[in-house]
Structure 1
């Protein structure tokens, strides 16, 4: 085998190895099927939940359409509602340190689903806790309002708006309980 043939064989081996690695990565993260909305929402909660440490932000970003927006309604110091929005990428940058330093667990407890063709709206009650076990620093619940679209053979989160329950905004009874589809 000539020197040129050896170099070509090595280059081909490297190319095939790189292609295999890229295929495995895309299968593991960005190219998940998410053919049903349940797997999408479950994956979101699994990515966010866990002991203090790094989150799989690549998988998180793969849940969202490239034009997705996230928003949260909170109250300011005077008790007035305040809205802020971000992209999924901005959210990961803003919250990464929090997740690295805090145990955080979130789960869906109730859902109302409305669908027409390739659009879907989910009104999803969640409960969360920060900290582990009896040492939980904070517990709470709230509502996620998801807007999903079906595109390219899978479901995507196009919008996620959320707010937590608070003293002046208790959770309505119809959104309580375990009733997840």
Structure 2
């Protein structure tokens, strides 16, 4: 992964989380994350999903497996921008989510901000922070593809 393919990275991440009820293949994307990467959820979560957390990759996986148990979850990228200078990149990935439990279906949209660096000729995620739309917080139209 010596040349940055930010769209490919986001597709891989969204493909893993977007599954029917059951375990996800987190190991298939572990290599995308630096061992010290952080994942920070801010704002409001869907129903009982915890918000305002700063997690390691392993803590995030554990929380996601617990929070999505029994649910079908699909996240699709609907906007993408990557700014890069040398060995540092900032990706803004706008997504829409469909969360299903039984007959209940919740639609939402949010934004992932991803910081990536190239270390030892490999691009890795250093941090991801995200938030969802809600009253008073709206994704700008120009961020959508």
Shorter chain as denominator, the TM-score bin is 0.7 to 0.9
TM-superposition CA deviations, 1:17-53 (whole Å, max 9, x none)? xxxxxxxxxxxxxxxx474222211100101101111
Question: Following superposition, which runs of at least 4 residues in structure 1 exceed 6 angstroms of deviation?
Answer: none
Quick check: which one's strand share is greater? 2
Aligned to 2:124: 156
* C-alpha distance in 1 between matches for 2:20 and 2:44: 28
Using structure 1 for the length normalisation, give the TM-score.
0.69
Counting matched residue pairs gives: 138
RCO higher in structure (CA 8 A, sep ≥6): 2
| Structure 1 stretch displaced more, 35-44 or 84-93 | 35-44
Query: Which segments of 5 or more consecutive residues in structure 2 lack a partner in the other structure?
Result: 46-50
CA contact (8 A) 2:33 2:126 kept: yes
Superposition pairs of residues 122-161 of structure 1, within 5 angstroms? 122-131=91-100, 135=103, 137-161=105-129
RMSD over aligned CA atoms reads 2.0
TM-superposition CA deviations, 1:52-99 (whole Å, max 9, x none)? 1110121232221111011111149xxxxx732111111111121233
Query: Which segments of 5 or more consecutive residues in structure 1 lack a partner in the other structure?
Result: 1-32, 77-81
